[in-house]
Structure 1
Amino acid sequence: MHQHGIGTWLSRRRRTAPDRIALVYGEQSAITYRQFADGADRIAAVLRNLGVGKGDSVAYLGENSPEFLQTMFGTAQLGAVFVPVNTRLAPPEIAHVLTDSGAAVLLHDPEFAPRLAPVVGTVPTRHVVVTGAGTTDRPGLDVLPGDVDPDDVDPDVTPDDPAAIIYTSGTTGRAKGAVLTHGNLTWVAINTIVDYDVVSTDVALMISPLFHVASLGMGALPVVLKGATLVLEKRFEPGRALAQIQRHRVTMLSGVPTTYQMMADHPDWASTDLSTLTKLTCGGSAVPTRILNAYEERGLSFSQGYGMTETSPGATALSAAMTRAKQGSVGLPHFFTDVRVTDERGEPAAAGTVGEIEITGPNVFAGYHRLPEETARSFTADGWFRSGDLGYLDADGYLYIVGRLKDMIISGGENIYPPEIELLLGELDGVTGVAVIGVPDPQWGEVPWAIMTVREGTHVDLDVVRAHLDGKVARYKLPKNVVIVTELPRTASGKVRKADLRARFGG
């Protein structure tokens, strides 16, 4: 065998645990690892018949489903490169991903055909295939010939070969394709297994989209590597998520603060049996105290972490046991990863001193697709990835995030880090979302504004906000204005698109 990438995982699992349940999806019967692997083999054969070979890109536009994962593993079998497409993208953004990645084949769920109509024909993609039986004008995955013997497919694949191109969420500009190798995806799965104690008897509920690197790299892949079970949800709905936890005796759940809050606010929260949950992980931003309290009242504690697309995505992990002792921290570096904080000279910063966070390890990406200069700027001379995030390490080596370099507010010469204020404002009763941005000011250069969403019937204004913060932060950090909006613009991973807010309110 010359295949040393993730494309071998399902055939190995079929060999060692063929009848173990791999996937649960919708109302259909459970899918075993044998069936999971057989489906990936068939898709690999279909793709090979369409001319896909090592190094070609295969894009997938669709919600969480068995076909999504089978396409990824089938693509990997051929040594080809998987390109998951964010289902929230508009047609021009989809066209950018397909063109930039050079996708030879696009597979998509039928519901996305209207959105693809203005795209197909304007991109270099040679074949467009719809999942299922297909339509009169487009071939269906289920009926295309898949008669290639998978035993004849054994390309030379090394851990350094590209496995996927994941497009960044675009919070700071046009999305860039981060090239993740087979080694990157393997090591992030291993880091997750080690630091979150994933075991083969786990049942993981996938409520976040698999096209997002956290769900893929730290959700699906470690579960498959351990031979555990994935319960795939097409999209997140809090009441259904609670029902699935009870129905399938879920042990693992990952999400962002918003999803956890929505479940705790749901009418079924108190009556749902959550006793099987042993592993809750949260990313995207720090977990507000009120959410910690709500879950701890049910005997549940969070693990938290920090990372980004370029680190596949895990960089650090905060164990549930340290959630309170190190509240506000994102934890220690993952087991096979290292993190440092450097000052403006590029030297290691002293404990407690804010600087740029830099990361190294086998989970750090190979570079940006077709952007060699951007890639070069993203690494230090000694090979550490420059995150563009600001943070500090405490005396015990725990990392604290204070914000993005581009999000830092400089008001009257003082640095203001939005996450500090956002975390405090998230404690206010009825507040469902907070983003603090810098708005130009003729006297101070910039001043902080708080853009917030609140539950219906909740009254929050500038006086309430400033009173809550008074005495907790320096007065120059107090917002000069509060704006209540119906929703905050977010990426698919739940991060607030602050560039959109600055464009709207910053003038």
Structure 2
Amino acid sequence: MRNNGIGSWTARRARMSPDRVAVVHGDESLTYRQLHERATRVAHVLTGLGVAGGDRVAYLGPNEPAFLETLFGTGLLGGIFVPLNTRLAPPELAYILEDSGTSVLVHAPTHAEHAASLRDKVPHVLDHEAYERLVADAPVDPTDETVDQDDVAVIMYTSGTTGRPKGAALSHANVHWNTMNLLIDVDLAGDEVTLVNAPMFHVAALNQTVLPTLLKGGTVVLDSFDPARTLSTIARYGVTYLFGVPAMFQAVAATAEWPAADLSSVRTMICGGAPVPEKVITTYQERGLVFLQGYGLTESSPSALFLRAAESDRVGSAGTPCFFTDVRVIDSDGEDTLPGEPGEVILHGPNVMTGYWGKPDATAAVLSPDGWLRTGDVAVVDEDGFLYIRDRIKDVIISGGENIYPAEVEDVLHKHPKVADCAVIGMADEKWGEVGRAIVVAREPVAPEELMAFLDGHIARYKIPKSVVFADTLPRTASGKLLKSALRKDYGANA
């Protein structure tokens, strides 16, 4: 094959295990032979629309087979796949389509209204009916376009928690080496049954669950997230592996079905996308489950750190660097920090992005000439080399000259039985410069004084928020990150 990219993966799997089930979605299933045939047909459809190597093809819709067919079909041509966040508003989607220069938009029926408003932003828009009709009529003749490992495979847009989202351009090599990192860390088997109910437009769902499972010849079960249905799906399909962000795992453990749920098939659960509260980890470990966490970014495809099964007793640590990724924690002078001293996490490895699509200045701001990626995240390293992620640099509260890391305070608040969710932001203060404010989603009525008293003794007093306010829900990105900018707007000094 001249195609050395991820688009060739279905062909390689189809010749090894053609009759294994690759994808399950509701009552529909596709073998590897069928998935490759569908991807090949999609490639011919895209060719008919003028798509060639380097052209961008976007997908808007939930987790379903058409997402993967479009991904692999685009890859067969050497095109670039652009997965779109289904939670974005039409103006936000329009920006991404224009920024990426997308030529074809494929969308699911669930997003027909949004897609209709985007028709003037992209030359070709395929709804579900047109997509299925064209795929059915397309030939299945093999394609063999030249695709190199260094070619861009996917543009994944960052959450945009600060300003406009930026497209992280991930090469085929980036995805390949990330997959190798994951397979070493998790040791997936060929009979894996992977539940994918985190959105595949999120880098962790796609690159940490779907692609490694398909590379190994396992089965991916596609679904949207529903806490109770997660448990019934695990039992129904004998799910062995799944990923979720902390908020998802919290919601599953809070269901009425949780105490009696059959989780006997599960080998591994991995959590990431946001700092993982210790309470979430211990809740699953108490059920005898292998609950692992890692740390990464869209810009690193995303693998960077992983806490492996043998080390899972180090609750709260994001682990040590993945096999093919180097990680440092540096001070403001660029020197490695001492154990226990906070610093910025920087990364280097073949999984680090090629850059931000069309944004050389933004790329240069985070990616050094020798390939080190600045993450903007604060961590400390212990004596054994395990990293503990503290917070985003921009979210650190500086109070009376002392740094307060909101994630550390949030982690303790999560342990209070009456707290369902929480966030901590900084508030301007005449005396201290800044002080903390906790925004709490309560399971049942609780006084602010009770929460303050609970924190006292668990963390230093200067870290205890000076005020507590209550909310019904907290705003999060689709990848589970708290939208601190929205919280500051709604609950900060200018609220």
TM score, norm. by length of structure 2: 0.97
Q: Which residue of structure 1 aligns with residue 19 of structure 2?
A: 19
- Kept in 2: contact 1:258–1:432 (CA 8 A): no
| 1:469 and 2:459 correspond | no
Tell me which of 186, 196, 199 is aligned to 2:176: 186
Matched residue type, 2:43: A
- Alignment of 1:350 with 2:338, yes or no, is yes
Determine the C-alpha separation between the residues in 1 that align with 2:94 and 2:283.
Answer: 43
CA-to-partner distance for each residue in 1:48-75, whole Å, 9 max, x for gaps? 1111000000000000011101110110
1:89 matched residue in structure 2: 88
Q: Is the 8 A contact 1:11 1:37 kept in 2?
A: yes
The yes-or-no answer on 1:413 pairing with 2:407 is: no
Asked if 1 retains the 8 angstrom alpha-carbon contact of 2:106 and 2:131, the reply is no
Residue of 263, 268, 272 corresponding to 1:283: 272
State how 1:359-398 maps to structure 2 within 5 Å: 359-398=347-386
Matches within 5 A, 1:92-491: 92-121=91-120, 123=121, 125-131=122-128, 134=129, 139-143=130-134, 146-148=137-139, 150-151=141-142, 153-233=143-223, 235-324=224-313, 326-455=314-443, 458-491=444-477
User: 1:32 aligns to what?
Assistant: 31
Tell me how many residue pairs correspond in the alignment: 493
Q: How big is the shift at 1:336?
A: 0.8
Question: Residues of 2 paired with 1:374 and 1:288: CA distance?
Answer: 31
1:144 positional shift: 5.5
For 1:292 and 1:375, the matched residues in 2 are separated by 35
TM-score (norm 1): 0.95
Q: What is the distance in 1 between the residues matched to 2:265 and 2:207?
A: 23
Instruction: Judge conservation of contact 2:41–2:140 (CA < 8 Å) in 1.
Output: no
Tell me: CA distance 1:267–1:477, structure 2 relative to 1, closer, same or farther (3 Å).
same
Q: Which amino acid aligns with 1:104?
A: S
SS at match of 2:117: coil
Deviations 1:268-298 (A, max 9, x none): 2222211111101011234334333332332
Distance 2:258 2:398 in 1: 42
C-alpha contact 2:274 2:480 (8 A) present in aligned 1: no
- Is contact 1:439-1:505 (8 Å) kept? no
For 1:479 and 1:165, how far apart are their aligned partners in 2?
Answer: 39
Letter of the 1:141 counterpart:
E
Shift of 1:80: 0.3
Distance verdict in 2 for CA 1:290–1:147, change over 3 Å:
closer
The verdict on how the C-alpha distance between 1:230 and 1:144 changes in structure 2, with shifts beyond 3 A counting, is: closer
Larger displacement relative to structure 2 (331-340 or 439-448): 439-448
Answer yes or no: is the 8 Å Cα contact 2:107–2:115 preserved in 1: no
**Distance in 1 (alpha carbons) for counterparts of 2:220 and 2:334:** 42
Point out the more displaced range, 47-56 or 445-454.
445-454
Range with greater deviation from structure 2 (265-274 or 170-179)? 265-274
**3-state SS of the aligned residue for 1:192?**
helix
- CA separation in 2, counterparts of 1:195 and 1:268? 30
Cα distance in 1 for residues equivalent to 2:279 and 2:173: 39
Aligned residues of 1:101 and 1:369 also touching (Cα < 8 A) = yes
CA contact (8 A) 2:63 2:222 kept: yes
Structure 2 unaligned blocks of 5 or more: none
8 Å contact kept, 1:49–1:145: no
Q: CA deviation at 1:146?
A: 4.9
Q: Distance in 1 between matches of 2:178 and 2:251?
A: 28
Partner-residue secondary structure (3-state), 2:235: helix
Q: Secondary structure of 1:483's partner?
A: strand
C-alpha separation between the residues in 2 aligned to 1:397 and 1:169? 29
The answer to whether the 8 Å contact 2:426/2:437 transfers is: yes
- Residues 337, 362 of structure 1: 8 Å contact kept: yes
User: Displacement of 1:173 after TM fit?
Assistant: 1.6
- List structure 1 segments (4+ residues) > 6 angstroms apart after TM superposition: none
Post-superposition offset of 1:148: 4.8
